[in-house]
Structure 1
Amino acid sequence: MTVYKLLLLPGDGIGPEVMAEVERVVAWVNARGEARIETETDLVGGCAYDAHGEAISDETMGRALAADAVMLGAVGGPKWDGVAYEQRPEAGLLRLRKDLELFANLRPAICYPALADASSLKRDRVDGLDIMIVRELTGGVYFGEPKEIKDLGGGQKRAVDTQVYQTYEIERIAAVAFELARLRRNQVHSSEKRNVMKTGVLWNEVVTRLHKERYSDVTLHHILADNCAMQLVRWPKQFDVIVTDNLFGDMLSDEASMLTGSLGMLPSASLGAADASGRRRALYEPVHGSAPDIAGKGVANPIATIASFAMALRYSFDQGETADLVERAIAFVLDEGYRTADIAQDGCRTIGTTEMGKAIISALDRMAK
């Protein structure tokens, strides 16, 4: 039996609550006997700052580097608003992405039929929606230098963030998008702002060349990022795979999340380059935040975190069939009318975090027979 190491970083706010439901699914997978997933739990974010004075310790980072995959809950909250920029909870997540060299962020936006009426758009716009946003994660304006605020005197300050991309960074993220498209509906939209940004000009040039050289079988469309944002709310089903940079990917994926009904429904995977054995370092996390206003109340939606674990099964643990089971179980529970508060609908039963986790396990038991 293959043994995989999974590092769990529940984090802050509702993170520990939703991660507990992932542990329930891990136990179910282990009980099947097709693979063994060994888990270890550690700190990241505000709780790590409280314990160590930093958002992630070197020891925790070492465990992340040694693991086959990392699962993260959520980080941050108003408790740490006064913490220095370098020690803020989000710095733990950024270090994980940087040190693990996770350059490809995959954010699927799927609208389950049972939730089509919960979307902010009309049913005909989102029913059957299945988009994959591929966001470059380690370059761009979030990491470019210089990044600073300078005091100019006289009550004036100047803030600088630098948008930087090199050819190889664009090539590797575009290749991920094209490869994914070949497994889906064979269409890629490459989104940038070449009309006003030099990085957009280079992005367009590199993606066009890569497409011509290696992926001419995939349909490629170039789209300006502002138009892409508009089209996502106009007719989102025109998209299959969207590939874009770090900043635009951050915004477009959050916009796409609302098409599905709730941020609580959106999983994500962040992947590094494949090594000689085909193994990729990987971090899996829900798109939603730490939601401190509902933390500890047992009402958080665990579906995004459980769906993120399904992505780990698929991309890190070579358990695609089990991943399919987990995703089908989520759909089944929603079809049966179970809802957490964020996706509550008339005529449906509103349940809490633990109840939703147990309902998904029950569905898994039925489907695995």
Structure 2
Amino acid sequence: MASSSLTHTGSGAPAAIARWLEIVAAFVVIIVLVGGITRLTESGLSITEWDVATGVLPPLSESAWVSEFAKYQATPEYRLEASVGGMTLAEFKFIYFWEWFHRLLARLVGVIYAVPLVWFWVKGAIPKGYKGRLVALLALGGLQGLFGWLMVRSGLVGDMTDVSHFRLSLHLLTALLLLACLVWTARDMRRLLIDPALPPVRMAGGSIVVALILFIQLLLGAWVAGLNAGHAAYDWPLMNGRVVPEIDFQSGFLWTLTHDPFLLHFLHRWWAWIAVAALIWQAHRTRRADRRASIALNAMFGIMIVLGIATVLSGVSLWIAAAHQLVGALLVAATAWAMHADRSARQSANLSGKASH
């Protein structure tokens, strides 16, 4: 028998599930930040194996540290890059920490999501129609972790000194999709507090276009990070003193579009303004439905632009670039919130209109 205080017909269950999802979303934001630091410090290839259980603990003895260091020394990144300037065991411990911490957070998020999900399920507290979505979010989180390991593996073969920027973008964008879905579902739960009979909010119309524009900007940003293309120019708004950088298309248009650091840096800079225009439109549409969501969206893309420019002018300062990625995650969360508020208001208006007829 399900607890009367946590049945889907009462207000307790949706509120509790919404808080749980918002906590998980906050942890995903932290993981994105730590992932950015891991990339910026070139720590991602410091752990060459994936041990789900034993990998929870870092090396606990000096001999264990030496063994882990030896595994890293066998990677192409160390042989072709890190060994040139020399690397001490202490320096290795620094980069190892960030990759280990990133993986630890991923495991923690899995537990924070899976355990309450089972508890809500057993208690019969999940509102009708949401079990499949909540299980799908769990699967998406697991898939994101798999993409992370496939990304690491891409940097451990042949003469690769970095991970594949395609796999990096897949890993990052899956995390951001998970974040957006968590926020969206949490808002659905809070909507049930108003009326338990309300259907889930569906994305439609202009919101889909805004999402696509933002997706392209995030994809470009992931490729810029994966190819270290942020170092292609340290001036703004010009790039190395030019409005349009010199681009060599001899390798073909498609290869250049997906690999050339100068072109990708240029596109990421200027597509950002198309994304800003789309987000301004979305924020304006959201203002009447939820003023706080509209303000949050305006604030996030404003800060994002400032930090993007600062990242360039600072020569890709570690903490400014990390803050840029952090705000990128917060921007995704704010966009999901604003879109949901907008669509919720319009969907409710449509339902009211049909009921009046």
- Which structure shows the bigger proportion of residues in strand conformation? 1
TM, length-normalised to structure 1:
0.26
TM, length-normalised to structure 2:
0.27
